[in-house]
Structure 1
Amino acid sequence: MNNWKYGCPQVAFVSGGGSGIGLNLSRALLQDGASVAIFDLAVSDALLVELRQLCRNGQRVKSYTVDITDPEAVDEAMNRAAAELGAPDFAVNCAGILRTAVFSALRYETFELTVRVNLIGSRNFAAGALRHMQPGGHLALTASLAGICGSYTHAAYSASKFGVVGLAEVLRTELKPQGIHVSVICPGEIQTPMLAEERKVGSPVTELVNEFAGVMPVDKAVQGILKGLRQRQYMITPGFRARLTRALARKATTLFHWIVDGKVAQGLALERRKAGNA
Structure 2
Amino acid sequence: GVVVSDVDAAGAARVADEIATAGGRAVAATADATSKKDLKALVATARAEFGPVDLFCANAGAAFGTGVHASDEQWQKSWEINVLQHVHAAQAVLPSMLARGEGYLLLTASAAGLLGTPGDAPYSVTKHAAVGLAEWLAITYRPRGIRVSALCPLGVRTALLEPGIAAGHPAALAIAAAAPLLEPEDVAEAVVHGLGKEEFLILPHESVRESFARKAGAVDAWIDEMAVGG
Q: Which runs of 5+ in 1 are unaligned?
A: 1-34, 267-278
Distance 2:175 2:23 in 1: 42
Pairs within 5 Å for 1:55-204: 55-56=23-24, 60-104=25-69, 106-133=70-97, 134-201=100-167, 203-204=169-170
Letter in 2 for 1:54: A
Match of 2:19 among 48, 51, 68: 51
Deviations 1:139-194 (A, max 9, x none): 11111111112222221111111111111111111111111111111111112121
**Within the alignment, does 1:255 sit opposite 2:225 as a pair?**
no
Q: Kindly tell me: are residues 54 and 207 of structure 1, through their superposed partners in 2, closer, same or farther at Cα, counting changes over 3 Å? A: same
Deviations 1:14-71 (A, max 9, x none): xxxxxxxxxxxxxxxxxxxxx1012210232444322211235xxx211111111111
Asked if 1 retains the 8 angstrom alpha-carbon contact of 2:164 and 2:173, the reply is: no
Letter in 2 for 1:50: E
Q: Kindly tell me: are residues 206 and 250 of structure 1, through their superposed partners in 2, closer, same or farther at Cα, counting changes over 3 Å? A: farther
Deviations 1:116-138 (A, max 9, x none): 01100111112112132232321
Distance 1:235 1:169 in 2: 9
Distance 1:208 1:183 in 2: 26
SS at match of 1:182: strand
Distance 1:71 1:37 in 2: 17
Distance 2:211 2:180 in 1: 10
Match of 2:204 among 238, 248, 254: 238
Asked if 2 retains the 8 angstrom alpha-carbon contact of 1:214 and 1:241, the reply is: no
Letter in 1 for 2:21: Q
SS at match of 1:103: coil
State the shift of 1:214 in Å.
Answer: 4.1
SS at match of 1:193: coil
Q: Kindly tell me: are residues 209 and 252 of structure 1, through their superposed partners in 2, closer, same or farther at Cα, counting changes over 3 Å? A: farther
State the shift of 1:85 in Å.
Answer: 1.4
State the shift of 1:75 in Å.
Answer: 0.7
SS at match of 2:9: coil
Asked if 2 retains the 8 angstrom alpha-carbon contact of 1:151 and 1:210, the reply is: no
Asked if 2 retains the 8 angstrom alpha-carbon contact of 1:100 and 1:202, the reply is: no
Tell me the TM-score normalized by structure 2: 0.89
Aligned length: 226
Q: Kindly tell me: are residues 51 and 226 of structure 1, through their superposed partners in 2, closer, same or farther at Cα, counting changes over 3 Å? A: same
Distance 1:37 1:98 in 2: 25
State the shift of 1:213 in Å.
Answer: 4.2
SS at match of 1:144: coil
2:229 aligned residue:
265
Distance 2:216 2:167 in 1: 30
For the pair shown, which has the larger CA radius of gyration, 1 or 2? 1
- % identity of equivalent residues: 26
Let me know the Cα RMSD of the aligned residues.
Answer: 2.0
